[in-house]
Each structure stands twice: as C-alpha cells, then as structure tokens.
Amino acid sequence: MFEKRIFIDRTAEKLTFLMASLSCILLVIIAWGLLKRSFPIMEEKSLADLLLTSSWKPLKGNFGFLPFIMGSLYVTAVAMMIAVPFSILTSIYLSEYAGRRIKNAAEPVIDLLAGIPSVVYGVWGILTVVPFVKYLAGLFGVFTTGYSVLSAGIVLAIMIFPIIINLSTEIFQSIPLELRNASLSLGATKWQTVKFVLIPKAMPGIIAAIVLGLSRAFGETMAVLMVAGNVAQTPGSLFDPAYPLPALIANNYGEMLSIPLYDSALLFAAFILLGIVLVFNIISKIILLRITRNTQ
C-alpha cells in the first residue's frame, strides 16, 4: 500500500508536468507552422514592405497588410473603450452594492451572454447595430452604410462584457471584508473605499481580465466579419468600414489559391495576429509587475 501511494505521487507529478509542457509545446508548434508557411512571402518581400504599406492587390503581387492591422487595432480599441468602463462599473456594482437577490439574478444572465454563439451576435449586429450606426452618422451629416469600425466595436464590446465582468467581479469578491472595513472604519464613504482601496487592490486582476477580453476581441472573427464592412483600407473615422485580420483570413483562406503567394500571405496574417496577441500579453505582464511592486 505504502509503495503504491508513493508511486502514484511520482506519476502524478510527471503526468501534470507532461500536460503542462504539452500546452506550451502546442503554442510553439502552431507558431512555427504559421511561420514556416509564411516564409515564401517573407523571402519575396521585406518585413517593412509587408507591414507598413497599404496596397492590397494579390493579383498584382501587392501584399500590404497595414489596412488590416489598423482595422484590427481600431475595431479592438473602440470595443475596449466601450467595454472596459462599462464592465468594471458593472462588476463594482455587483460585488459592492447589489444585494444577494440581484446578484443571483444577474449572474446567470451574464453567463448566458457569454454562451451566445458569435454568429448570433453578428446577425443581431446587422439587424440593429448597423442601422443604428447609419442613423447616428446621419445626425453628424456623414453618409455610411453602417458597416463600420463603430458597429464592429459595439458588437465586440458586448461580446466581451461577460468575460471582463465575470473575472473582475470574482476579483473584487476575493478581497477580504476586513480591508473594506479598515477603510470604512476611518470614515471613508463606500465610493471612496471603492476608488482608493478596492480598485488599486484589484488592479492586477482587472488588467488580467482586460487583457483576456482584449485578446478575445482581437481574434474574434465571425461577428466582426459580418458588420465591419470588409474594405481593404485603413479606416479614417469611426464610420468607415474596416477589414480586420481575422476577417481577412476567414473570408479568403482556401480560395483563389492559384494566385502566387496568396496562401503564404494569409498565413503570414495569422502569424501577425498571434504575434500581436503575444505582445499584448507581454505588455500586460510588465504593467502587472510594476503595479504589484508599487502597491500590493
């Protein structure tokens, strides 16, 4: 019996280690696969040429990714600007102000929101958000089809609400009651406690939640593809159409493969996508480190 227990213990360590390394290896394999398939285009063109020019004419051999990169960045930025304040305030309400009954009612609704397939968000976006944006632009005297950065940003924001809300609510609730009491007992109001104590305390977790939402928004394909307009041009305003990277890949991969380098170009796009998400993660780690060093 004794021996078996120790044997299981050792096996457990090895098995968990194996599984943990497997997920790391998987990332490397995916990155390597994408990189390898994008070699043909990288041999033809300089990196600057690919990343910083705007002409996208596959038939002529012009592959400028700038409009797609900018499209992705704009759409994501708009989504984050809407989603972050809304989600953080919602989670503060849920964890600090709402009574148990409201909390119990809100949680399943938020979970449900997270479970809606992205194509449904896309259809809903076409039916309501696109006409709304078209109307809104009209008020400013701008003509647009409605398929735009703003539409995509709104739809994306709604898709990532539940991610950020759930995570940050959990983070606020993990803060010990006594820390709140420490601030309240000095005569602080509830909002002062939230602002000066709870938000700083939760900040590392909130940033992690935001980055998760950001990565999700950045890579989201279906819903964005349906409402963004998909014009290969760097958007000049909120009402212009955009063509984010995931939409580019999903719309075109597997078609027109007779065009030289097209396949390689699309896999290069996938590689950029992965690279940018990785950069987000690294930046957030650095921010996290600085915050924890200064406050926690």
Applying CB under 8 A, the residues found at the interface with other proteins are 99-100, 176, 178-179, 181-189, 192, 196-197, 200-201, 293-296
H or E element at residue 56: strand 56-57
Nearer to other proteins, 87 or 183 (CB): 183
What's the CA gap between 83 and 72, in Å, rounded?
A: 16
Nearer to other proteins, 57 or 290 (CB): 290
What's the CA gap between 161 and 88, in Å, rounded?
A: 9
Max alpha carbon distance in the chain (Å)?
A: 81
Q: Minimum Å distance from CB 183 to other proteins? A: 7
Q: Minimum Å distance from CB 178 to other proteins? A: 5
Nearer to other proteins, 21 or 181 (CB): 181
Nearer to other proteins, 184 or 250 (CB): 184
Q: Minimum Å distance from CB 100 to other proteins? A: 6
* CA–CA distances in Å: residue 87 to residues 34, 166, 206, 224: 34, 9, 10, 20
What's the CA gap between 249 and 266, in Å, rounded?
A: 6
Angle at which helix 130-139 crosses helix 149-173, to 10 degrees, equals: 110
What is the DSSP secondary structure assignment for residue 53, as one 8-state letter? -
Q: Minimum Å distance from CB 99 to other proteins? A: 6
What's the CA gap between 270 and 188, in Å, rounded?
A: 50
Q: Which tokens belong to 277? A: 């998400």
Nearer to other proteins, 36 or 190 (CB): 190
Nearer to other proteins, 197 or 288 (CB): 197
Q: Minimum Å distance from CB 210 to other proteins? A: 18
Q: Minimum Å distance from CB 95 to other proteins? A: 12
